[in-house]
Amino acid sequence: MHSRDKLIVALDVGTKGEAERLVKALSPQVSVFKVGKELFTAEGPAVIQMIHSYGAKVFLDLKFHDIPNTVGAACAAAAGHGVFMLNVHALGGRKMMAQAVESARRAAENAKKAPPVLLAVTVLTSLAESDLREMGVERPLETEVRELALLAKACGLNGVVASGREIKLVREAAGKDFLIVTPGVRPLWAAQGDQKRVVTPKEAMELGADYIVVGRPITQDPAPASAAERVLKELAGFC
């Protein structure tokens, strides 16, 4: 892949207008844009259509977590919109993830579209081990990530969303063909923000990430295209 294909820019904004300003500025350099809960709740599928109109792809980051039938229906709807990538929470369990895979595959086939890349969220990058303890998770954070990744693979998902600090253990456990998308990526010149388990773009690639997600360091920069270019230069040696 070209470096531009490895970078996913998070559109963590509240309106379609703000998102389009960024997509227009960045789409010559960036292939994939992440649409999360705030933007999708505010603007709906029109945002997906807007991004597609610029020739870019969509990572629909809604982290579905519900009963199997409901998650399956949501994944089918996403596949019908032609999204490139979407995710579910691995903690939804085996039946939920298996239903997500089957429903997305069937919907894409019916719509004559490529099936979306389906990812599992293991442990959010904003969480530390102490946070897991508060929620009753007793096993170490790294063990939790590894076991959830293996469960996702067993259910037929394409990969996981995982912190850079867990890339190596996921790769060793799940193999080289299991995709790893790493959020919480912060260039050295950017603030860490509310992320606790962060790595730089170069570190993420060295560890073996397939894609990285970068948001505020690019989208809140006065010159987002220039900020994206700085990140892409870090990735260029890994393509």
Coil, strand, or helix at residue 138?
Answer: coil
Residue with token string 């992440």: 34
Decide if 129 contacts 196 (C-beta within 8 A): no
Distance from C-alpha of 41 to C-alpha of 37, rounded to nearest angstrom: 6
Catalytic residue among 63, 95, 168, 196: 63
Residue 205 phi/psi, 5-degree rounding, is -70, -40
* DSSP 8-state code for residue 238: G
Active site residue 113: no
Residues annotated catalytic, as ranges: 63
